[in-house]
Amino acid sequence: MLLSELLGIPVVDEDGGRVGVVHDVVAVQDGPITGSFGAALRVDALVVGRRGLWARLGLSAAHVRGPSAIVRLTRIRGGTDEVPWRAVVGVSPERIVARVP
């Protein structure tokens, strides 16, 4: 499965409750060395939900420095919603099932 195929897939908890839709994927470059590229990438988390969409647009509270109205808005919206990849228990083209609180 390609990473791009994860985008837009609904994420549900083990009871079928909606968590959100995948807006982005957090990858970490700490896998085995692969030629001139260096360490391979691995999926660390899925960015989901409305706040995740804000993060994908570059509007997460951690990255916005100004103007002040946008800074206040990002703080009101809160942090991003991430589902750790280790919490994912099933992946299909229709949905991703994860153990989330």
64-97 pLDDT per residue, tens = 556 665 555 555 544 458 899 999 999 999 999 9
CB contact at 8 A, 21 and 8: yes
Bridge partners of residue 82, in order along the sequence: 47
Mean of pLDDT values over 20-38: 84
Give the C-alpha distances (Å, rounded to integers) separating 69 from 4, 39, 61, 65, 74. 33, 40, 12, 10, 9
* Residue 53 pLDDT grade (very low, low, confident, very high; cuts 50, 70, 90): low
Neighbours of 76 (CB within 10 A): 8
